[in-house]
Chains A and B, each alone.
Chain A
Amino acid sequence: MTDQAVAPGSVTGVVPDTNGRMPRRRAARSSGAVARVGWGIAGVMALLALWEAYKLLGPADGVTVGGDGSAGSGVILLPRTHDRAMPHVWDMVARLFQPTSGAETSPLLVSVLEAAGTTLGLAAAGWVIGVVVGGILGIAMQRWRLVEWGLLPWIVVSQIVPLIAFAPVVNALGSQIDRAGVFPWPQWFSVALIASYLAFFPVAVGTLRGLESPDALHRDLFHTQSAGWWQTLVHLRLPAAVPHLLPALRLAAASAVVGAVVAEVSIGLRGGIGRMLIQLAGQASSDPAAPWAPTFGTVAIGLVAAAGVALIGVTLHRFRRGEETR
């Protein structure tokens, strides 16, 4: 990507070809995609190699200073490398295809995928709630300056509250509402709500920034056309906000996954990957490769979530044209 990366808009006198596409750019883009995938795989490989290299070279019992000899005392300078602390990568992979617990149960991989599916659903629900709430807050803050002044500091402060302290409160509140019969509040809804608590923040801030991104020229233009607030929002501010919104949606997706996993753990919701992680980590001394399976599962959820947002980005491609030229 050298000369192809130069903005086509800066070239005076575009050569009129029939379909309006730029073949050279396209070729450059597809070879770029191959290179990106290659680098991605290389990165993962490097991480695995680093793990195995340290396991091979590092001391089996690690290096600690200032300890009195009992387990867990002192400051760890180098972590332990024996098989219980650092299982081999191939053992982690092999463990995926062995029964979850006992001979009769399904392979660990299947259990992980089921749990990951559950958590992904919770995170997705949280993401949707977060995007709707964040979007409405962003629009309201753009519409009324007073709302921005009054609300934005609180939105920032809201992210400082530790989730682990806040989750049980939501759960208790939910079960009270459920028991009192106000409306049904299943436990999974608490998890989705907590996930949305993390997800709404980047969306609210991104929406506000995006809606305020059109320059004075475009605002003047819409004013001369006597366009009202709603028309300006639909035809100018929202389309212009898309480049700001997509990174916000991606951040929100990552936050929703983290929020869902943490909320599962702290509430103790069964069936999700958070609970599975805690359970298998408890048995790690006898089955050290097992906790890595739900860890990989969590990574997979994050990748699927990011891919989902990337897909949204593809459908909104025409609103991102400005990014390529300016």
Chain B
Amino acid sequence: MTTPTTPAVHAAGIGKVFPSASGEVTTLTGVDLEVAAGEFVSLIGTSGCGKSTLLRLIADLDTATSGDLTVFGKTARRARLDQDYGIAFQQAGLLPWRTVAANIALPLELHRWSRPTREARVTELADLVGLSDFVARYPDQLSGGMQQRVAIARSLAASPQLLLMDEPFGALDEMTRERLQTELARIASETGAAVVFVTHSIPEAVFLSDRVVVMSPRPGRITDVIDTTPGRARDEALRESPEYFARVTAVREALHGTPLQRANER
């Protein structure tokens, strides 16, 4: 059993090397990262900086070449077997032959929950993501945003204390994207789950996160960590606030590696 002080993710000196035709490719090197329980951390960086690889290591979809990685104090493999995390990808990845309800229930079915507990949990989750009226629909009858909500509900099915999200809103239009960000902020605070969130959108990272981890490619490593905990609720007003803009600028500068010249300082 985990205590409140056990970090959700603890990574020390993580390296990942992929073999390739032209020798070895170092995707990650010397990555140290700690995600506290209930903390929302975004990984941001250009394509090929290894942010998705790092997420896959935490999810035990790949294994690190070097370093020490634990999830709630256990190995990543043990955490996966214990259903300690839920995961959502850029594509919703729903099973087209299952209804919304059956898609949400998939993790519970695979772990042999009884039908009544499964149904009660699905009702709860559909309500949480605002899809109660759509549980009998099939994925092809839903918009992209709704499909992604189903995927989020599915990742939350077993009440994990860690959510791993790999650009879950990357394929959505800007309007839907902002609406789902607000919902995810609410869901994360309601469930109290820690979140590791991969994105390449600076505003998205700043809006959602307590900390933004800035990564850089060749080889993939962490170059900066910026505290973005808002002193207020994450709502639409936050998007308009000066402190939000200041943090967006801070993350942008960290990504580019140099202070940017601003239009009003020229």
Which residues in A have some Cβ–Cβ distance to B below 8 Å?
A: 7-9, 11-14, 16, 20, 217-218, 220-227, 231, 235-236, 239, 242, 318-322, 324-325
Contacts and interface: CB of A to CB of B under 8 A. Distances in A.
Interface string B121-136: 0000000000001101
Interface residues of B, number: 34
B93 interface: yes
Contact of A8 (B91, B141, B146): B141
Contacts of A325: 96, 140
Interface in B162-205: 173, 176
A324 B97 CA distance: 12
A239 B95 contact: yes
Given A20-B136, A226-B83, A227-B110, A12 B145 contact: yes
A318 B99 CA distance: 9
A325 B143 CA distance: 12
Given A20-B141, A225-B111, A242-B97, 11 more contacts: A11-B143, A12-B144, A12-B145, A217-B89, A218-B93, A218-B95, A239-B95, A239-B97, A319-B97, A321-B139, A324-B140
Contacts of A319: 97
Contact of B93 (A8, A11, A217, A322): A217
Nearest to B108: A225
Contact of B109 (A11, A226, A235, A324): A235
Contacts of B226: none
28 contacts: A8-B140, A8-B141, A9-B139, A12-B144, A14-B141, A14-B142, A14-B146, A16-B134, A217-B91, A217-B93, A220-B89, A221-B87, A221-B89, A222-B110, A224-B87, A225-B83, A225-B106, A225-B110, A226-B80, A226-B110, A235-B95, A239-B95, A318-B97, A318-B138, A320-B97, A321-B96, A321-B140, A325-B96
Interface in B59-102: 59-61, 80-81, 83, 85, 87, 89, 91, 93, 95-97
Contacts of A324: 140
A224 B136 CA distance: 25
Nearest to A16: B133
A220 B143 contact: no
Nearest to A7: B140
Contacts of A320: 97
A53 B107 CA distance: 65
Contacts of A218: 93, 95
A231 B96 CA distance: 17
A318 B96 CA distance: 8
Contacts of B173: 12
B72 to A, nearest CB: 15
Contacts of A13: 143
Closest 6 CB pairs of A and B: A9-B140, A322-B96, A325-B140, A12-B143, A319-B97, A217-B93
A238 to B, nearest CB: 10
Contacts of A227: 110
A8 B61 CA distance: 33
Contact of B61 (A16, A220, A242): A220
A7 B142 CA distance: 11
A14 B143 contact: yes
B86 to A, nearest CB: 8
B137 interface: yes
Given A12-B144, A12-B145, A224 B61 contact: yes
Contacts of B143: 11-14
A318 B98 CA distance: 8
B141 to A, nearest CB: 6
Contacts of A14: 137, 141-143, 146
Contact of B138 (A11, A12, A239, A321): A321
A9 B142 contact: yes
Contacts of B107: 225
A108 to B, nearest CB: 47
A12 B171 CA distance: 13
Interface in B23-57: none
A318 B141 CA distance: 13
Most buried by A among B81, B134, B141, B143: B141
A325 B141 CA distance: 9
Nearest to A226: B81
A9 B138 CA distance: 10
Contact of A9 (B89, B106, B141): B141
Nearest to A239: B97
Contacts of B91: 217
